[in-house]
Amino acid sequence: MVSWSNNRRKVNHRKSSDEMNNHKDRFIDLAQAALEEADMEEDRKGVIHEVMEALIAKTGAPLVAEVISEQLRCQDVIEKIAAEHYQEETLRKRSTSSPLNRVDSTESLKEPDSDFEEEELSEKVVSSSSDTMSIPIIAEYLWRFFRVLILSSLVGLVYHFLALK
């Protein structure tokens, strides 16, 4: 009876090792198939990439890309200059503010000498608020103009691309 159970164990051990080898072989086959498929996909992507590079070179897209990047740089310069101008204006207004406009001044408590000074003061307040409001308006118009330039560049690129076909 002992020999029969030993034989059965040996047979079961062989079956389990055969099954394990089958699983290993199947896993190796699947891994090789996946690797081959990945290589084929990479080759396809390489071909597509080369075709796209050739298409871009023939359509003149690099030139349009340079134009768009130059427009972006110009917009940055415009925004920087506008911000510097706004800061300079605010500093200039602070430094040249009249004693009548300053809160800490003792002369601000005095009564104006005439109606003319009151009108002049109100005109200064109105003109300074309109100057302050004109900077954001100008910046908004510049931004809109820049967006129109970008859009026209893209339309030109599409037209150029379609004209080649």
Residues 127 and 88 in one domain: yes
**Domain check: are 94 and 51 in the same one?**
no
Number of domains in the chain: 2
The torsion angles phi and psi of 110, rounded to 5 degrees, stand at -75, 155
105 inside domain: no
**E strands present in the chain:** none
The proportion of the chain whose per-residue pLDDT surpasses 70, expressed as a percent, equals: 62
Contacts of 118 (CB under 8 A, 6+ apart): 112
In a domain, 48, yes or no: yes
**Other CB atoms within 10 A of residue 149 CB:** 16
Same domain, 75 and 135: yes
Q: Domain span at residue 130?
A: 60-100+110-165
Instruction: Give me the amino acid identity at 9.
Output: R
Instruction: Render pLDDT for 95-149 as a digit per residue (tens, 0 to 9).
Output: 876 555 555 555 555 555 555 555 665 666 555 555 666 778 888 888 888 888 8
Q: How far is 36 from 16, CA to CA, in rounded Å?
A: 30
Judge if 47 and 67 occupy the same domain. Answer: no
Q: What does the alpha-carbon distance between residue 101 and residue 93 come to, in Å, rounded to a whole number?
A: 11
